[in-house]
Structure formats: structure tokens, C-alpha cells
Amino acid sequence: MALAFALGVGTQNKKGDWLEVFFQKPVYQPEAGLIEAAKAAGYEAGNQAIALDTAKLEALAGKLSGEQAELAKKLASSKAPTVLTVIESDGQATSTPEVYLKLQLISHRLVKPHGIDLSGIFGLLPNVAWTSKGAIDLEELSDAQLEARMNGELLEVFSVDKFPKMTDYVAPSGTRIADASRVRLGAYVGEGTTIMHEGFINFNAGTAGTSMIEGRISAGVFVGEGSDLGGGCSTMGTLSGGGNIIIKVGENSLIGANAGIGIPLGDRCTVESGLYITAGTKVNVLDANKEVVEVVKARDLAEKTDLLFRRNSLSGAIECVTNKTAIELNHELHANN
């Protein structure tokens, strides 16, 4: 079974290089019939991104059925470049359309973070200007700005980056996103998630379900159902010092304001405000009588449940005690329907 099939429309620079691709209806693990139909556009085997013209789209429409056939018919009248992308096997990407398809599979919630191979994507994602007129090659930006000015217009540049904002491609159901520029394409935003203005979600990261996000979810980090990331808090991702350790936050956990974690956090855990725990942090483990029973590194407590991490206000030592209070989010506040 192939991994993915998608018809897309995107942007190319003047050299014909792809800058970005929008896939409205990507198909994850398509049936054999879709892959067979792709042969009408010249698909043979393997992972391919095939530029389409009107003739190929009409041929595809005749072989496809349902919404994919309707999409092919619509794209036949597109003034922008169109592409068929087929991913037969999940390996390192070989083209820009393939990378964009993989990122959109995650943002469409068809694949969870770490569920698809994203190795090598940075070399295939061009660094472009994201503007009020879409993606523009950096070498072509100055001419585009001049042309806009000559027409009495302003070409606004929102960012210069390899990743666009997710909501220009996917707006997941049941979510609230206060500042769309802070959620990158390739984020997985679970049903019921609220992302406040200072919240951030990188690619290949996200939330499983109902969560309040006012802090940073770094690349590779996945937050469990019902957890809360307080204002200004941080999670250490694979791109920010976490190395090969996959950082996650369990269910019904809380990372307080301006706190942070560099270890996987279990269910029903709390990290007090302002406390940053890395794998090598020395932690005093306390018993029910608040006596130190052992001293460990924080990595030894990774993924353990019902823990409260705090700093002793007198000695400054970092302590860990059993946390009997689970975090329960306000259901009315988080109703995003």
C-alpha cells in the first residue's frame, strides 16, 4: 500500500523551482485504484512529483472518482502550476512537493508527529518571502516590491522562512488560534486545543486534544489530552538541545508560567512556575513526610506519573513530591465548536 496521494496547486519561481504546494484533499494510505489512476498522468512507481497540464488533469479526472475527480476537474482551469504527488514508501523526501505533502498530512491530522519520515526536509524547503501575494523567491522579491509600488500597491512581507503558517494550508476543526503566525505548517493541533497569542507550535509537534497552550511546543514535542502550558513556558525539542530524546507531556499535566522541561513528562504532573528542568538537573525526591529519600537526575523521573516538581523556597534545591491534584481544564472555556 502506498503512503499518500495528492493533487496540489502551488507556486514556482521564474526558474520553475517549486516554492510551496497546497494540497486541499490529501489521501493517506490510498487504495490501489488511486495509484493506478495516477498512471494517466505519467506516474510509474516510487515517490514522484509530476507537473500537470490541462491534458493530464483531464485524463486523471477520467480515471478518478468522487472528490478526487472533482478536484482534478477544478485544477484543470488553474492559472497556477499544478502537481500530482505520490509517496509510495516513507523514506527521506526527494522533492519540495513531497515535503509539503508530508507536512500537510500531519496538519490534517492524518499522521501524528513522529509518524512520518521528515529527515532531509530542510534541504528541500526553500527559504522564501511569505507576502500578501503569496510565496516569492527571495531573488525575485525586490522586483516584485518595485512592481507593486509602481501599481500604487504595497507588497507586505510577513516573514522570510522555510515554513509557512499552518492556517494558510489547514485550519483544523474545533480549535482556536489567536495568532496564526505562531503555528507552523506541519503542526498537529488536536480537537479542542486553544492556542493563545503567545502560544507557539513548531512542525512535527502538537497536541492530542483539549489543551490550553500559552507556551512553546518545540519541534518533535507532543502534548497529551487535557494538559496546560502556561504563559512563556518552554519544551525542549530535538532542534533546541533535546538531541534524540523525544520530549512529550502526558495527559492532564501542567507546566507553569515561564517554566520548562527537557525530559518527557508523565500524566498528571506539574512543574511550578519559573522552574526549568533538564535531563541532568539534580532533584531531591521527598516522601510523605517531606524527607529526602533519594537524590536523582531528572532523567530518572522521565514519564513517571503524578509528580510535582518545585523549588524549595529556603534552600533553592529542586524537589519532587507526589502530585495528588490533577489539572482539570475549564470545559466551557475550551469549547471551540
For 71-89, how does the pLDDT look when each residue is reduced to its tens digit (9 = 90+)? 999 999 999 999 999 999 9
Q: What is the pLDDT of residues 248-267, one digit of tens each?
A: 999 999 999 999 999 999 99
The architecture in CATH of the region 4-107 reads 2-Layer Sandwich (3.30)
Tell me whether residue 132 is exposed, middle or buried, using C-beta atoms within 10 angstroms of its C-beta: 0 to 12, 13 to 18, 19 or more.
exposed
Residue ranges per domain, the chain? 4-107, 129-161, 166-322
- Give the model confidence (pLDDT) of 295-313 as tens digits: 999 999 999 999 999 999 9
User: C-alpha cell of 163?
Assistant: 515554513
Interval 109-129 mean pLDDT: 97
Indicate whether 243 pLDDT > 70.
Answer: no
Residue pLDDT, tens place only, 6-59 = 999 999 999 999 999 999 999 999 999 999 999 999 999 999 999 999 999 999
Angstrom distances, CA of residue 328 to CA of 11, 209, 289, 325: 44, 13, 27, 9
DSSP state letter for 165 = B
Superfamily name with CATH number, domain 166-322: Hexapeptide repeat proteins (2.160.10.10)
User: Average pLDDT for residues 314-325, to the nearest whole number?
Assistant: 85
Per-residue CA distances from 259 to 163, 228, 238, 305 (Å): 27, 12, 18, 18
- The reply to whether domains 4-107 and 129-161 share a CATH topology is no
Query: Is residue 298 within 8 Å of 280, Cβ to Cβ?
Result: yes
Closest CA to 320 of 233, 295, 328: 295
Q: How confident is the model at residue 157 (pLDDT cuts 50, 70, 90)?
A: very high
Query: Residues with catalytic annotation?
Result: 214
Task: Please tell me the distance from the alpha carbon of residue 195 to that of residue 297, in angstroms, as a whole number.
Answer: 32
When the pLDDT of each residue in the chain is averaged and rounded to a whole number, the result is 94
Q: What is the pTM of this model?
A: 0.93
Query: What's the rounded Cα separation, in Å, for the pair 48 and 317?
Result: 56
Homologous superfamily (CATH) of 129-161 is Trimeric LpxA-like enzymes (3.30.60.70)
- Work out the pLDDT band at 158, boundaries 50, 70, 90: very high
pLDDT band at 337 (very low <50, low <70, confident <90, very high): low
Compute the distance between CA of residue 72 and CA of residue 60 in angstroms, rounded to an integer: 7
- For the segment 274-282, the average pLDDT, to the nearest whole number, is 96
Q: pLDDT band for position 65 (50/70/90)?
A: very high
